[in-house]
Amino acid sequence: MHKKYFIGTSILIAVFVVIFDQVTKYIIATTMKIGDSFEVIPHFLNITSHRNNGAAWGILSGKMTFFFIITIIILIALVYFFIKDAQYNLFMQVAISLLFAGALGNFIDRILTGEVVDFIDTNIFGYDFPIFNIADSSLTIGVILIIIALLKDTSNKKEKEVK
């Protein structure tokens, strides 16, 4: 018999990501001034103290009420999707856990300080990518995993139709 939900694994992933996100942000906020930077990997990775009161690339800057409402809706939707549509699918449950943790990590920042602490500063093939954090990484990985899971599910359904 297959497990319907992998609650322990999902909670562990979400808690670990949120704690890691919040600890790294705390370290940056308490040890670096905004704008301070140091090189980790030459021409590729810096740690740069930055604050963002918007979304990715600073869009919707200062729209905290919007972010509070939309994040609560997203968190509720993720819990619903986890219960309703991710049954028996560990891969999808991990993806949802990463999305939940990422959204919650940035939500905590917005509630506590009105802005998100960003610090991972990369330069990829000459493109100076916007500064981000662990929560943003968790969101991105979660989205990628959901896309993979949905593509795999679509592929499996087509295979069953052929048989």
Could you give the C-alpha distances from 98 to 37, 107, 115, 122, 138, in angstroms and in order?
28, 14, 21, 21, 5
Query: b/e for 27-52, b at 16 or more Cβ within 10 A?
Result: ebbeebeeeeeeeeeeeeebbbbbbb
Residue 118 annotated as catalytic: yes
Selected catalytic residue, list 21, 109, 118, 121: 118
**Segment (H or E) for 87:** none
The two most distant CA atoms of the chain are separated, in Å, by 62
Q: How many residues does the chain have?
A: 163
Selected catalytic residue, list 21, 109, 121, 136: 136
Residue 36 annotated as catalytic: no
Catalytic residues, by residue number, are 118, 136
